[in-house]
Structure 1
Amino acid sequence: MILVDNGSADGSVDAVAAAHPDVTVIRLPRNVGAAVRTVGVRAARTQFVAFADDDSWWAPGALRAAVARRRRRDPARRGAGPGPPVRCGPSPARSANGAPPAPSDPW
């Protein structure tokens, strides 16, 4: 799971990071609006990407159902494990270890 902090100052990101150390946290120095999603997509290493915002959530089982439906519609995605990621826009440059560039000032 990736959490992109869009310049928040309420301590919620620190709380998530403390409670869930397995979550990758990317902190942006300021709010970049909807472009924050691009930062998360670029950091993803998975076949599928799903979004949740402060005013939305995924019901139990909904992500599993969404992936199953996508795989039924696109048989190439039925294989075990992650395949090539589905991305929006150009792929970012990668460092030698495969990590995305630091999002210090994406815009």
Structure 2
Amino acid sequence: MSTKKLIRYLKETNAMFNQEDLKITHQLIQDEVRTLKLRSDKHIRISDEKDRASYAKLIGICSNGCMFLKDAKDGLIELSIDPYHPKYKTSLVKDTIENVIIVLSIAKKDQKPQKVKR
């Protein structure tokens, strides 16, 4: 999956969700997606350091270490992507985003959210 396909995937993902439920933005540096911001005032709640650590662990495991949690606070998760990591694949970025959405229990437009045990 190329950078263009990843950007298209991000746009399609944004279109699948109501903007108040989830909005994903990205930042390009040297023609590579380097930063992703997932915004959701409704679903992202960081009450303590334990919540932050569990999100960091989820992101690290799902991405095989090519992504890490840069910042996490109520309403925002900011992810940093290392395209020079030996295990980096844009498909891993896509899978990681999908896993975060499932864990946050964010429903697509006109659907009920999936239940996930934390």
Q: Provide TM-score, normalisation by structure 1.
A: 0.29
Which structure is larger by alpha-carbon Rg, 1 or 2?
A: 1
Question: Using CA pairs below 8 Å that are at least 6 residues apart, which structure has the higher relative contact order?
Answer: 1
* Higher fraction of strand: 2
